[in-house]
Amino acid sequence: MLLLNRVAIITGGAKGIGRGTAIKFAEEGCDIAIVDISVKEANETLQEVIKKGREGLAIECDITDGSKVRDTVNKVINKFGKIDILVNNAGAGSRGGGRTSPIRSMAEVTEEEWDKVVSLNLKGTFLCCKEVVPHMKENGYGKIINVSSLGWVTPPAIAPHYHAAKAGVIGLTHDMVGELAPHNICVNAILPGPIRTPFYNGMVASMTDEEKDAFFKAVGKGVPLGRVGTPEDIAGVMLFLASELSSFVTGASIIVSGGLPMRSTSAFAMADMEQN
């Protein structure tokens, strides 16, 4: 097992990429703290972790609130005595777990929405790192994985607040490397491409199941590998970065996108053409 007796915090761990990662880590021997604003779904994911024979916690937390993040980290330390892995996965295109579309023109993005999206995606990542890093330094070991987005490299649609925040995650990742490397703490980022998760709920919520399948099939036509990704596709790369397989990897930004960006026509544009 690649993560035997390790302890991980996974933010946004209740569903999508976070849920897939929690299950994958548990299969590899890791105990998991699932941190999410949706405690009901976090508990459902926790049951999957327990089925794999591992221990865990489901913790309701708004990661944009420093005091709540601190309390969450303390709960994990009190339960497990350490934190080996931090996966900063929580994020959304619009505040509220992706229930509304992130697509906005510059003129449409309100100041309030900008603040909320940047706070969730960038400030939340910073706060979680801020509270976890001292414990990792004390133990002389750590793996931090920050989730950015392919969108900050090649925006597939107009979403300035979201893409700016995800670009900031890369800047934060690189900044942490020099400080933390002497403490045997590796910091890396994953940039997912189109992955079928609740992130798309704002675009597909009103569709039938058949229409949703057609939408994602159309998006997949814009991907060199011919399909959209799954949470399990990202979880495999998470496992690599969380394990000793990547002991000499820090400061990396790994694109997991089925080959994007390699075509001038974006996946979203391809989907739009197919739908019209």
Distance separating alpha carbons of residues 206 and 3, to the nearest angstrom: 40
Give the active site residue among 162, 199, 200, 215: 162
Strands (E), the chain: 7-11, 31-36, 56-60, 85-88, 142-147, 185-192, 253-256
**Placement of tokens 């972790």 in the chain:** 49
> What three-state secondary structure class fits 182?
helix
CA-nearest of 18, 39, 25 to 90 is 18
Specify whether 162 is catalytic. yes
Q: What does the alpha-carbon distance between residue 32 and residue 39 come to, in Å, rounded to a whole number? A: 14
Q: Helix, strand or coil for residue 222?
A: coil
Active site residues: 162
